[in-house]
Amino acid sequence: MIIDPVCEQISDQFRSFHALQLLHLLKNIHNLNVFHRDVRPSNILLNTSDNSLVLADWGSAIHLLNKLELVPYEGTITFASPNILDNNMGPYQPKASDDLHSFIRTMYILRNPSNMPTIPSGDLASKAQAIKEYWNDSVDVKLDGLARCDASPETQIRTPTKPRPRISTLPENPDGK
């Protein structure tokens, strides 16, 4: 069986315009009240025919008709948002910010793969605590690692020094074509 498009795991080919593609995709699904809930490096693939990003593994995704609904946590603890970690992975209300936190953590690990946190053995609460401590330890230093992008200055991901633009202000076509 041949699957088109042919995709490969994205790693050192990841560029700023890929991040903008992913942000645009997340904005679109969030506008439909769909939450991916498992944004992480291994779920980001590259379509090798046109260098576009593909977000894979929609098995944890949820379409919420009732925004107040509590749902069980699904996803990968390493990239879980503070909202989920603070709740010790218990039932929660999915929000766009959960996917966006996972996005930021994914960007950091894609740029710094040797810094993937180690998850200790033990119960879920101790794992959640270890991940909280990892992401809260020198977060500014971790995020500063994102500034070492190879793209043009107008598309670089940087630790913000002024208010960030809303996602809705991102260009439709991030590579300018």
Sequential pLDDT tens for the chain (177 residues): 344 555 656 655 667 888 899 999 999 999 999 999 999 999 998 888 888 888 999 999 999 998 889 999 998 999 999 989 888 888 999 999 999 999 999 988 888 888 888 888 888 888 888 999 898 854 544 555 444 444 433 333 333 334 434 444 344 444 444
Strand boundaries in 18-138, DSSP class E: 34-35, 44-47, 52-55, 62-63
Q: Where are the domains of the chain?
A: 7-143
Q: Residues 35, 94: contact at Cβ < 8 Å?
A: yes
Q: What is the pTM of this model?
A: 0.71
Domain 7-143, classified CATH 1.10.510.10, yes or no: yes
Reduce the DSSP state of residue 35 to 3 states and report it: strand
Quote the CA–CA distance of 125 and 34 in Å, as a whole number.
27
